[in-house]
Amino acid sequence: MVTINEVAESAGVSKSTVSRYIAKNGYVGKESALKIESAIKALNFVPNLSARSLKTKRSTIVGLLLPDITNPFFPMLAKGVEEYLQERGYQVLFSNIGDDGRLAEESLKTLVQSNAAGIISTFDFTEKYPDLNIPVVIVDRVGHHSEFGVFADNKAGGRLAAEKILEAGAKHIAVVSGPINAQSVNNRFKSSVAVLEESSAHFRTYYSKDYNFSVVREEAARVLDDYLQVDSIIAPSDIHAIAFIREILGRGLSIPEDIQVIGYDDILMSSFIYPALSTIHQPAYEMGSEAAKMIVELASNRSVHQRQLKLPVYYVERETLRKLGVKHACQEAEKFTPQRGKRPLSAEAQRV
Amino acid sequence: MVTINEVAESAGVSKSTVSRYIAKNGYVGKESALKIESAIKALNFVPNLSARSLKTKRSTIVGLLLPDITNPFFPMLAKGVEEYLQERGYQVLFSNIGDDGRLAEESLKTLVQSNAAGIISTFDFTEKYPDLNIPVVIVDRVGHHSEFGVFADNKAGGRLAAEKILEAGAKHIAVVSGPINAQSVNNRFKSSVAVLEESSAHFRTYYSKDYNFSVVREEAARVLDDYLQVDSIIAPSDIHAIAFIREILGRGLSIPEDIQVIGYDDILMSSFIYPALSTIHQPAYEMGSEAAKMIVELASNRSVHQRQLKLPVYYVERETLRKLGVKHACQEAEKFTPQRGKRPLSAEAQRV
């Protein structure tokens, strides 16, 4: 194994210069840096990270704590984090911690032990661990107390969903709130409701309990059974929207003619399905890469100007909202309403 | 900060016993272990992993190298790896390396530097790096040269897909080969073709180039345009199958009445969509957890009895294959065939 002494000898600099260069800790002149770099390459020298982190105190490991990587929203966020960090010589230590962060503790212990450079997490545990000496950036589910956060403009997204469905002629709208008690999710829901309250449309609110598909599908069935006049669904996620689509089509109804659906997230699968889901695009990849960028700034002791970074969302028009101008919306909505009589309802459904 | 000396004093054992206990390296009596464990808890002692890995040579980090976490097959595999390792005190260092492993090199360097306990990878780079002194388990895309591997029974899966579609009355079958040149994917395709060759059905073979949805959808359109009599699709993945479903429904055709589709993988989304996808279930979670188990065995210098672990696959009946007994299959297939005249074809499509 090549040692740091051999690198120093080959580069014609002192061992401590090589150490400073490797640890990126302290001044190394440009010329020396170039010499060291070529010596490292020529000798195929691999610095020992464990030795290095003992000296610099910080490793190049960044923790990524997500609720559940099998929730289709998170892989794209994880990719944004991973690609940004990988290019800059950092590595991603990944854990599923659950929606409520209950599995975070073990991971935090590991990250402390590893002298992690930083932590990116959907769950804000910083109040519970005030002495944690590692930079933490909360992503997506940023709360009032989060010091550093990257999130999407949930208020604008919630408004946009309601506006788009009204423009498409919605008269009876089921607004479904997301399954977790997070500010991000609540903000979307409240903003949608605020827009609907200003309109002449009827609406009812529902609360989802889970992201699990069989639960979500049962919930969708219950909404359709409960709100017989419903002609429009504002779903809290694309997963929920896709469950509604399945339930609506399974009842022999058409989308968007009988019932229109708007999702939230714009997961990859939403453009794959038929009909393709009209939805609010969240910048999942960018949230990941911006959070990673913030961690790198913090780990390098550079100041972060914007501690709370809000990224824009936008509407993606596909096939589950009617394509009407605002002017025609009301007339068209009238035309669609009588068709509701076609809907097959079970005896049980009518009892709700 | 609590030191190892304080733990030793509190437990009434020697410092070297505590070291052996923490590093899991060498003999520690049961009684001593219990004493040390309670001392660690009472003092809230956190061993420094960097210091520890310098001594034991191996860290508790396991590399997980996957082609692309946004390919919906991999999150479930990653979850299997992560949950198994997390419970046993190991951490997952995660990288996207591309289908061809082109991004593996940087990650490997890091894992060597971190004294990783092991590597789980879809891409077998072991021939390229014969001196790598870290246990490697190849997962899913295991090749002839892979020393340790966990994979699904691709031959049985390929056969099963062809058998199920024949049982459902397939007469004209498009068999699509997967987009990567891996033994796993080739085995499935060849096994499907072997079954079809033994049958009286007509079939044509196609090769997909990508997992990217817009590419896959165009490919699906080209298959439908090229093979006008096609009544059945054997897709190389659920992503491909879902692209076919979208393209078929978008042409005003019915599934499974006009064209039936069978997928491969059983990703979460396949049960969400309408019609729900009939597919071959791959045990993605189990592949992950079994690979993790093998790594833990290897990292602990325990012998691994089964170096190549093949996991079973099974057929999941949903809504995209006709529900016919084998006996009625041929008669029914005849009935469906005349309907093909309904199919709208563009001028361009007919030119193919």
Residues 181-240 of A with CB under 8 A from B: 213, 239
Collapsing DSSP to helix, strand or coil, B54 comes out as: helix
Nearest CA in chain A to B105: A86
Q: Among A230-239, A337-346, B235-244, name the one with the lowest average pLDDT.
A: A337-346
Q: Is B107 on the interface with A (CB under 8 A)?
A: yes
pLDDT, position B17: 84
- Second CATH level (architecture) for the domain B154-281+314-351: 3-Layer(aba) Sandwich (3.40)
Name the CATH code of domain B61-152+286-311 (choices 3.40.50.920, 3.40.50.2300, 3.40.50.2000, 3.60.21.10).
Answer: 3.40.50.2300
Mutation site for A-interface testing, chosen from B70, B120, B212 by largest number of A Cβ within 10 Å? B70
The domain defined by B4-55 folds into 434 Repressor (Amino-terminal Domain) (1.10.260)
- Second CATH level (architecture) for the domain A154-282+314-351: 3-Layer(aba) Sandwich (3.40)
- Inter-chain residue contact B95 with A95, CB threshold 8 Å: no
- Inter-chain contacts counted by CB atoms under 8 A, chains A and B: 151
Q: Is B260 on the interface with A (CB under 8 A)?
A: no
Mutation site for A-interface testing, chosen from B22, B246, B272, B319 by largest number of A Cβ within 10 Å? B272
Q: Is A250 on the interface with B (CB under 8 A)?
A: yes
Assign domain A61-153+286-311 to its CATH superfamily.
Response regulator (3.40.50.2300)
Task: Count other C-beta atoms under 10 Å from residue A299's C-beta.
Answer: 19
pLDDT, position A215: 92
Collapsing DSSP to helix, strand or coil, B237 comes out as: coil
Q: Among A52-61, A230-239, B13-22, B93-102, name the one with the lowest average pLDDT.
A: A52-61
- Quick one: which of A237, A291, A225 has its CA closest to A263? A237
Q: pLDDT by residue (tens digit) across A328-337?
A: 544 544 444 4
Distance from the Cα of B93 to chain A's closest Cα (Å) equals: 4
Answer yes or no: same fold for B61-152+286-311 and B154-281+314-351. Answer: yes
Does the predicted model carry a pTM greater than 0.80? no
User: Using H for helix, E for strand and C for coil, what is the string for chain A?
Assistant: CCCHHHHHHHHCCCHHHHHHHHHCCCCCCHHHHHHHHHHHHHHCCCCCHHHHHHHHCCCCEEEEEECCCCCCCHHHHHHHHHHHHHHCCCEEEEEECCCCCCCHHHHHHHHHHCCCCEEEECCCCCCCCCCCCCCEEEECCCCCCCCCEEEECHHHHHHHHHHHHHHCCCCEEEEEECCCCCHHHHHHHHHHHHHHHCCCCEEEEEECCCCCHHHHHHHHHHHHHHCCCCCEEECCCHHHHHHHHHHHHHCCCCCCCCCEEEEEECCHHHHCCCCCCCEEECCHHHHHHHHHHHHHHHHCCCCCCCCEEEECCEEECCCCCCCCCHHHHHHHHHHHHHHHHHCCCCHHHHHC
- B120 vs A contacts (CB less than 8 Å): none
Domain spanning A4-54 has what CATH number? Answer: 1.10.260.40
Distance from the Cα of A239 to chain B's closest Cα (Å) equals: 8
- Give the start-to-end residue ranges of the domains of chain A: 4-54, 61-153+286-311, 154-282+314-351
Q: Is B98 on the interface with A (CB under 8 A)?
A: no
Q: What value of ipTM does the predicted structure carry? A: 0.77
Collapsing DSSP to helix, strand or coil, B100 comes out as: coil
- Inter-chain residue contact A86 with B103, CB threshold 8 Å: yes
CA distances from A176 to A122, A160, A206, A210, A256 (A): 22, 15, 5, 12, 18
pLDDT, position A177: 96
Mutation site for B-interface testing, chosen from A110, A211, A267, A319 by largest number of B Cβ within 10 Å? A110
Q: Are B237 and B73 in contact (CB under 8 A)?
A: yes
Nearest CA in chain B to A108: B91
Does A38 score more than 90 pLDDT? no
Q: Among A91-95, A112-116, B222-226, name the one with the lowest average pLDDT.
A: A112-116
Task: Count other C-beta atoms under 10 Å from residue B215's C-beta.
Answer: 14
Q: Is B65 on the interface with A (CB under 8 A)?
A: no
Give me the residue label for tokens 């439908």.
Answer: B224
Does A352 score more than 70 pLDDT? no
Q: Is A340 on the interface with B (CB under 8 A)?
A: no
- A246 vs B contacts (CB less than 8 Å): 272-274, 276
Sign of CA dihedral B88, B94, B98, B102: negative
Q: Give the one of A91, A112, A272 whose C-beta lies nearest to B243's C-beta.
A: A272
- Inter-chain residue contact A75 with B69, CB threshold 8 Å: yes
- Inter-chain residue contact A82 with B92, CB threshold 8 Å: no
Distance from the Cα of A119 to chain B's closest Cα (Å) equals: 13
A68: exposed, middle or buried (Cβ count in 10 Å: 0-12, 13-18, 19+): middle
CA distances from A314 to A17, A156, A176, A232, A284 (A): 50, 9, 19, 19, 12
Q: Note down pLDDT in tens along chain B; length 352 residues.
A: 577 888 888 888 888 888 777 766 667 888 888 888 888 888 877 765 544 444 456 889 999 999 999 999 999 999 999 999 999 989 999 999 988 888 888 889 889 888 899 999 999 999 888 888 899 999 999 988 899 999 999 999 999 999 999 999 999 999 999 988 788 899 999 999 999 999 999 999 999 998 888 899 999 999 999 999 999 999 999 999 999 999 999 999 999 999 999 999 999 999 999 999 999 999 999 999 999 999 999 998 888 888 999 999 999 999 999 987 545 544 544 444 433 333 333 333 332 2
- Greater pLDDT, B340 or A158: A158
Q: Which residues contact B279 (CB under 8 A, 6 or more apart)?
A: B238, B241, B262, B263, B264, B265, B266, B270, B315, B316, B318
- Quick one: which of A269, A293, A270, A265 has its CA closest to A280? A265
β A314-316/A279-281 pair status: antiparallel
- Quick one: which of B132, B126, B127, B69 has its CA closest to B288? B69
DSSP tally for chain B: helices H, then strands E: 13, 12
pLDDT, position A338: 37
Q: Give the one of B48, B54, B274 whose C-beta lies nearest to A246's C-beta.
A: B274
pLDDT, position A64: 97
Distance from the Cα of B62 to chain A's closest Cα (Å) equals: 9
Does A294 score more than 80 pLDDT? yes
